[in-house]
Amino acid sequence: MTPVLAVSFDALTSAGFWIGVGVLAGTYAIFTLGLQLNVGFTGIINFGQAGFMAIGAYAMGILVVRAGWSLWAALPAATAIATAAGVLLGLPSLRLRADYFAIVTIAFAEIVRYVAQNARGLTGGNQGLLGFDDEWLDLSDRILGWLPASVQDQFLLPLLIVVWIAVALLTGLLMLLQRSPWGRVLRAIREDEDAARALGKNVLAYKLQSIALAAALGAIAGYFLALNLSFLSPESFEPQFTFIGFTILILGGLASYVGVALGSVIIWTLLEATRFVDLPLAAEKVAALRFVIVGVALIVLVAFRPQGIVGKREEMVLRD
């Protein structure tokens, strides 16, 4: 058996590969928009975003598969559920110190994943949940029909289009919100919480809103994840995805919503492109190497370029 590199060239230049990367990048861009809102603009450290993603995705899946709802009805309902979860989580814990809050959010995300693994009747457990996307597939086929014939075999293309429309809309929405009085209060809270409180702002309420909105964004990212795989399983919501989100966040730049999309594309291109090496002995090592690179990237970025690519130095909220 001669160890050779696989036909990576073909796959790397294939449209299918880039569309796949694009869908993932878009999904995690939405995921990280939530993180940006929390961390970059409100100053709360949310390590539990994967948990909101899971709640949204599973709520949607369960409503469709177990309760027989239509997908289109399940989406807003699941978003509401995730938002409520955000509020429920935030109410007792937002008053804690930032580092404690971070721990609580990780614990929350792990509990959600654990429940997903063990509540088999509801979530399918480790076997996963399938069959929730028939209505989406119909829509997807219709969209595909509107596209030129040359791309008709790229069945993920409609999802790619929808995801990036969502990214654009949500980014625009967040940027608008940021310029609004509400956004200004958030920024004030990030800069100096006590001062904001002294000015009479109900800091807890604003933080709750921030986390609720982030939860909704996480849930939306969860739907795209679910539709991408047509399959929901607990391992899609492991904490490493939150950490990848943070890497994207820092890479793109704190306090820049646009940077999020950019960061996401770069990170996912790197992560997916490294699947191609096909050395039988080194395959395990390559899989591990991908994450070592993510770790190193995170450390280096945070240490040397915390403003990321498009963040501005003045916005570098990581310093005092």
Partner 1 sequence: MYAGTRSRRLLAVGVSAAVLGVAGCGDDDGGGGTGAGAGTGTGGGAAAQKPADTSFDQTIGVLLPLTGDLSPFGAPGRKAADLALSQLREGMRAAGVETTVALQSADTESSPQSAVQAARQLISGGATCLAGPWASSETLAVAESVAARQRTPIVSPSSTDAAISDLDDDGFVWRTAPSDNLQSRALADTVEQELGGTDFTLSLAARNDAYGQGFIEKLQRAWEAKGGRTTGPVLYDPEQPNYNSEAAEIVSGRPDAYVIIDFFETYGKMGGALVRTGQFDASRLFTADGLASDRIPDTIPTRALAGARGTRPGTPESGAVVEQFATIYRAAGGAPRQTFDAQNFDATMLCYLAALAAGSPDGADVAEQLQAVSAPPGRTFTFMELGDGIRAIAAGEEVDFDGVTGPIDFDDNGDPTAATYEVYRYGDDGVLSVERQFEARAEG
Partner 2 sequence: MAGPADSALAPARRERSRGAGAAVARLTGGGRGPLAATTALVAALALALVVGYGLHDVAQRAVNGLVSGSYFALGAVGLTLVYGTLRLVNFAHGDLLTFGAYMAFMANVTWGLPLAVAALFALVATAALGVLSERVMWRPMRGRGAGLLQLLLMTLGLAFVIRYGIQMIWGTLPRRLDVDVTASIGFLGLRIGRTELIVVIVGFVVLIAIGVMLRRSSLGRQMRALSDDMSLAEATGIDTDRVVVATWVFAAGLAGLAGVLYTAAIGTMTPNLGFFLLLSLFAAVILGGIGNAYGALAGGLLLGLAQEWSTLLFDPRWKVAVGFAILIAVLIVRPQGLFGRRERTL
Residues forming contacts to partner 2 in the complex (CB under 8 A) are 39, 43-45, 92-93, 95-104, 106-108, 110-111, 114-115, 118, 189-195, 240, 243, 246-247, 250, 284-285, 287-292, 294-299, 302-303, 306, 317-320
- What six digits make up the tokens of 247? 């890497």
Q: How far is the CB of 243 from partner 2 (least distance, A)?
A: 5
Q: How far is the CB of 280 from partner 2 (least distance, A)?
A: 13
Name the amino acid, one letter, at 260: V
Contacts of 88 (CB under 8 A, 6+ apart): none
Tell me the CB-side half-sphere exposure of residue 24, using CA atoms within 13 A: 21
Using CB under 8 A, which of 73, 96, 126, 147 touches partner 1? 126
Sign of CA dihedral 157, 161, 162, 164: positive
| Residue 87 interacts with, from partner 1, partner 2, none (CB under 5-8 Å by kind) | none
Q: How far is the CB of 296 from partner 2 (least distance, A)?
A: 6
Sign of CA dihedral 27, 275, 116, 64: positive
Q: Residue 39: which H helix or E strand, with range?
A: none
Does 218 help bind partner 1 (rule: CB under 8 A)?
Answer: no
CB-based burial label for 199 (10 Å; 0-12, 13-18, 19+): exposed
Relative to beta strand 129-130, strand 231-232 is antiparallel
- Between 201 and 305, whose beta carbon lies closer to partner 1? 305
Does 316 help bind partner 1 (rule: CB under 8 A)?
Answer: no
Q: Report the interface residues with partner 1, using CB under 8 A.
A: 1, 4-17, 20, 117-118, 120, 125-128, 130-131, 137, 155, 228-231, 233, 235-236, 262, 266, 269-270, 272-273, 275-278, 280, 283-284, 287-288, 309-310
